[in-house]
Structure 1
Amino acid sequence: MLFCTAYDGDWDPYIDDFATKIPELMDILFGNVEGWPGIKDPSVKQFILDHQITAAGWYVGVPHLTVQDIRRHERIVKGINKALDEAQTN
């Protein structure tokens, strides 16, 4: 089985989100994987660490920005464009 994810924050809270936001889905996905302890089991993080594989290649368009930064920049640009559009119509 291949389960690929990407994140731009700390690893522990990221894995905790799987346990709190989609625990049933995680256990359905991994329930038949040999040794799966269950997403709410304290040993699940070690299980994931023991089985994760680092990507051989990776591309990030803006490595110095987080997803949150990009969304904030988008809101700023939309606000500026709206102000410019309104200024042109007046």
Structure 2
Amino acid sequence: MAPVRPGGAEIFRERVEKAQVEAAYWEGKLGTVHDLRVCLINDGTQILFAATYSDEFNPYVVDVINFATPWIDHMFTDVAEGYPGLKSPDALAYIAKHQVEASVWYGSNEDATVRDVARGQRTLAALGELLDAAQA
């Protein structure tokens, strides 16, 4: 959760549609994100980045930097106060400064990775096709 610079809320609102359209592409490159929310809060004075991801925090952040920098930078550059860009040597310090760990978190399948869920969906679809063929 980071403060929004003056005029940043309007910039973010202009960029939201493109960011939403590209979400599946960029998150697909990571392969560890269960869900993600980025929104303005507190009357546009703060921006919230909230994600549920597989694995630990530090490897997740490194993956975001390695695979999704253009997308994240599109949402946060000139929006979040002091945002240095993910390729900056100051990026990790900026993230740590604004990080808020959840006091309560619940995951119904917390041990299942995104890849496990996708594999399970493919398996269920194949089983459904097999059962449909057997009934025909």
Q: What is the RMSD computed on CA atoms of the aligned residues?
A: 2.2
Structure number having the greater strand percentage? 2
C-alpha deviations, 1:23-48, integer Å up to 9, x for none? 35534544454443222112211221
| Off by >4 Å, runs of 4+ in structure 1 | none
1:61 is aligned, of 93, 97, 108, to 108
1:36 maps to amino acid: Y
- 1:54 match: secondary structure: coil
Q: Which has the larger radius of gyration?
A: 1
Deviates more, 1:71-80 or 1:31-40: 31-40
Is 1:74 the counterpart of 2:125 in the alignment? Answer: no
1:57 maps to amino acid: V
**Structure with larger RCO (C-alpha < 8 A, sep 6+):** 2
Q: Which consecutive unaligned segments of at least 5 residues does structure 2 have?
A: 1-46
1:3 is aligned, of 40, 49, 71, to 49
Q: Which consecutive unaligned segments of at least 5 residues does structure 1 have?
A: none
**Could you tell me the TM-score, scaled by structure 1's length?**
0.74
- 1:4 match: secondary structure: strand
| Separation in structure 1 between the aligned mates of residue 111 and residue 71 of structure 2, nearest angstrom | 32
